[in-house]
């Protein structure tokens, strides 16, 4: 009698642990999906208001230049290394600002819709709808810039 109780108890504990792991995995996927969706929203907003995107990357550049200036002042960098690293930081900022916001919006929505589901959740459903919108706008942007592409290249 005691032996069968131990098996039942062990079985219930195992079932509870499996349910807890499943629940934690589901919560993790939903949170990741939400995060990716919100990142897509940020990039979509930047496509409508490029000055926000520029301000963001300008702030990142200013922080990087301040860090490099501190390293230069402490003697951790010589002037030539400082100039190289600062030039690279400016180049990276320029590239980030020039990059298509719609492309990144599409990729983040795609990530939320496809990579972090199943389980299907509110964020993956919203992202799937926004993904189509972002892709269509991205295609229009490529057409306006006369950049050749095939549909498979946008996947």
Q: Mind listing the pLDDT tens digit for each residue in 29-85?
A: 989 999 999 999 999 999 999 999 999 999 999 999 999 999 999 999 899 999 999
b/e 123-142 (16+ beta carbons within 10 angstroms → b): bbebbbebbeebbebbeeeb
pLDDT at 106: 96
Whole-structure pTM value: 0.79
Tracing tokens 């690293």 back to the chain, one arrives at: 85
Q: What is the DSSP letter of 75?
A: T
- H-type helices in the chain, by residue range? 2-48, 50-73, 79-98, 101-110, 122-144
Give the tens place of pLDDT for each residue, 17-30.
Answer: 989 998 898 889 98
CA 145, CA 55: separation in Å to the nearest integer? 24
């Amino acid at each position: 009698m005691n032996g069968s109780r131990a098996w039942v108890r062990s079985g219930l504990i195992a079932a509870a642990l499996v349910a807890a792991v499943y629940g934690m995995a589901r919560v993790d996927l939903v949170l990741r999906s939400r995060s990716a969706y919100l990142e897509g929203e940020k990039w979509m907003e930047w496509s409508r208001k490029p000055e926000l995107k520029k301000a963001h990357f300008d702030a990142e550049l200013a922080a990087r230049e301040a860090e490099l200036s501190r390293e230069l002042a402490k003697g951790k960098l010589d002037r030539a290394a400082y100039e190289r690293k600062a030039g690279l930081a400016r180049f990276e900022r320029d590239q980030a600002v020039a990059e298509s916001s719609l492309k990144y919006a599409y990729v983040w929505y795609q990530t939320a819709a496809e990579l972090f589901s199943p389980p299907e959740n509110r964020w993956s459903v919203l992202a799937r709808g926004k993904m189509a919108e972002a892709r269509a706008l991205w295609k229009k942007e490529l057409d306006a810039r006369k950049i050749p592409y095939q549909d498979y290249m946008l996947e």
